[in-house]
């Protein structure tokens, strides 16, 4: 099954996409994580895109589309994948439609006010997991439960970049929903609930039934 997760910044796309992928054996693809990997490792691509990501602008479509095309062709995607952060505009949707069939689409609904609160407490890990100082703290302060690496604040979680990212989401990404609504594969879930409750809504609308649920991601 190929799934897209949409939602404003801080709505929990990464949190939920990782859970769905892990519990159902799907590949997890986050364009944001791929870009951050290149920036951190100072690859040629990383040096080219850093100026966009840090201020909350979209990376140019030609670069983003190439990366997604390559990623979706990797063998782990044959069983299905969860896409987080792509497509974000019309050109990206057009490209996606030529390379993959999407079966289900989730939109996590969250107010901008709540999104901003979430991002101010987020701690990220280079392995892709996200934590929150209050809502989802790691077991050991500042350390990832999963890989043991040090957690960090994202450069683009500053107020100016967050404002820009939210504006782009409303202007360029939300208009894509109509395409999936017409195909009757778009489901909205309430992102204001706790992480486990959001996950349960997603499992229900996708018709999935996971045994593992959110266990590995919890603090207890």
Catalytic residue numbers read 13, 88, 122, 154, 165
Residue (101 or 109) nearer to Mg ion, CB: 109
Least distance from C-beta 60 to ligand AP5, angstroms? 8
- Strand, coil or helix: 19: helix
- Choosing among Mg ion, ligand AP5, none, which partner's interface includes residue 65 (Cβ < 5 to 8 Å by kind)? none
- CB contact set of 180 (below 8 Å; sequence gap of 6+): 4, 102, 105, 186
Complex with ligand AP5: residue 24 or 217, whichever CB lies closer: 217
Q: Which residues in this chain contact ligand AP5 in the complex, by CB under 6 A?
A: 7, 9-15, 30-32, 35, 52-53, 56-59, 64, 85-86, 88, 92, 118, 121-122, 130-132, 135-136, 156, 165, 191, 193-195, 198
Pick one of Mg ion, ligand AP5, none as the site partner of residue 135 (Cβ within 5 to 8 A by kind): ligand AP5
Angle (CA) 133 187 136, round 5°: 10
Cβ distance to ligand AP5 smaller for residue 30 or 145: 30
Helix/strand/coil for 132: strand
Q: How far is the CB of 172 from ligand AP5 (least distance, A)?
A: 9
Of Mg ion, ligand AP5, none, which one sits near residue 15, judging by CB under 5 to 8 A according to partner kind? ligand AP5
Write each residue from 8 to 37 as x if it is in contact with Mg ion (CB under 5 A), else as -, in one continuous string: ------x-----------------------
CB distance 126 to 149 below 8 Å:
yes
Which of 123, 155, 152 lies closest to 54 in space, CA to CA? 155
Find the shortest distance in angstroms from Cβ 17 to ligand AP5. Answer: 8
CB of 211 to Mg ion, least distance (A): 25
Residue 89, classified by CB atoms within 10 Å of its CB into exposed (0-12), middle (13-18) or buried (19+), is middle
Q: Are 87 and 172 in contact (CB under 8 A)?
A: no
Q: CA-CA-CA-CA torsion for 22, 27, 33, 37, nearest 10 degrees?
A: 110
Sign of CA dihedral 91, 94, 99, 102: positive
For ligand AP5, the closer CB: 92 or 145: 92
Which residues contact Mg ion (rule: CB under 5 A)? Answer: 14
């Amino acid at each position: 099954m190929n799934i897209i997760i949409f939602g404003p910044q801080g709505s929990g796309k990464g949190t939920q996409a990782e859970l769905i992928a892990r519990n159902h054996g799907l590949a997890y693809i986050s364009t944001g994580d791929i870009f951050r990997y290149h920036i951190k490792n100072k690859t040629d691509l990383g040096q080219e895109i850093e100026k966009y990501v840090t201020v909350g602008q979209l990376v140019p479509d030609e670069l983003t589309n190439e990366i997604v095309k390559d990623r979706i062709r990797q063998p782990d995607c044959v069983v299905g994948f969860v896409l987080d952060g792509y497509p974000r505009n019309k050109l990206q949707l057009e490209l996606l439609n030529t390379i993959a069939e999407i079966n289900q689409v989730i939109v996590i609904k969250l107010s901008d006010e709540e999104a901003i609160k979430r991002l101010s407490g987020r701690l990220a890990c280079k392995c892709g997991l996200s934590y929150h100082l209050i809502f989802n703290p790691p077991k050991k302060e500042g350390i990832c439960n999963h890989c043991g690496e040090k957690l960090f604040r994202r450069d683009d979680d500053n107020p100016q970049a967050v404002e820009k990212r939210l504006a782009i989401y409303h202007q360029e990404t939300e208009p894509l929903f109509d395409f999936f609504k017409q195909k009757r594969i778009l489901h909205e879930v309430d992102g204001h609930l706790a992480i486990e409750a959001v996950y349960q809504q997603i499992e229900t609308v996708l018709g999935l039934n996971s045994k593992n649920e959110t266990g590995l991601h919890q603090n207890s």
